[in-house]
Structure 1
Amino acid sequence: MSSIIKFWPFLLLVVSNIFMTFAWYGNLKFKDSSTSLPLIILISWGIAFFEYCLMIPANRLASKNFDTAQLKIIKEVISLVVFGVFSVLYLKESFKLNYILSFICILGAVFFAFKKF
């Protein structure tokens, strides 16, 4: 299998996580808005639809090279990286030292998920 084909699941996972992060957290930038909660939920569902359209093929493609636990660990790391960038660039929140230390601990989990014992 070519390295280009192996790369596709990761690209799909990144883009799907961008959609999901906006679906879940994008509305927080406008939390003082008078927009009704049911409308916000419908908008979020609409955004999440595209996440599912990318996540399902990404999981199916990646499952050819990774077991399910490894795939979940990969997805969570991508999700945290996307969220970190999103919270700093879109929500204008600060990225604190304890977040960096937490992420280092998660990278330890990645190491053990892929380590052969």
Structure 2
Amino acid sequence: MESQRELGEISVNLDNKRVPLSAKEREKMKGIYPYYGAQGIIDHINDYIFDGTYLLVAEDDENLKSHKEKIATIAKGKFWVNNHAHIISNNEKNDLKFLYYFINTVMYQST
């Protein structure tokens, strides 16, 4: 018996909490907290939006075509995320590490 689930059934999407900051804005906010983009940390600032363990999934980038780097990253602690990475939390139906490994092994095709 095959069991398929939509990503929304096995995770919580927190994209509505992302806040992009321009390079000028980040320059004025230099600090200790990681600022994540599509492929990982791109800066450090003096504030954070998230505190915990979350899955960040690249929304758009050359890497979605080339697969030179992993599509998903696990971010831990206090950090900020811009609008180029989806932010996902697991729910009671799934494990965050499983989602991380699954997303990074699926081959994406650009359209």
Normalised to the residue count of structure 2, the TM-score between the two structures is 0.30
- Higher fraction of strand: 2
Normalised to the residue count of structure 1, the TM-score between the two structures is 0.29
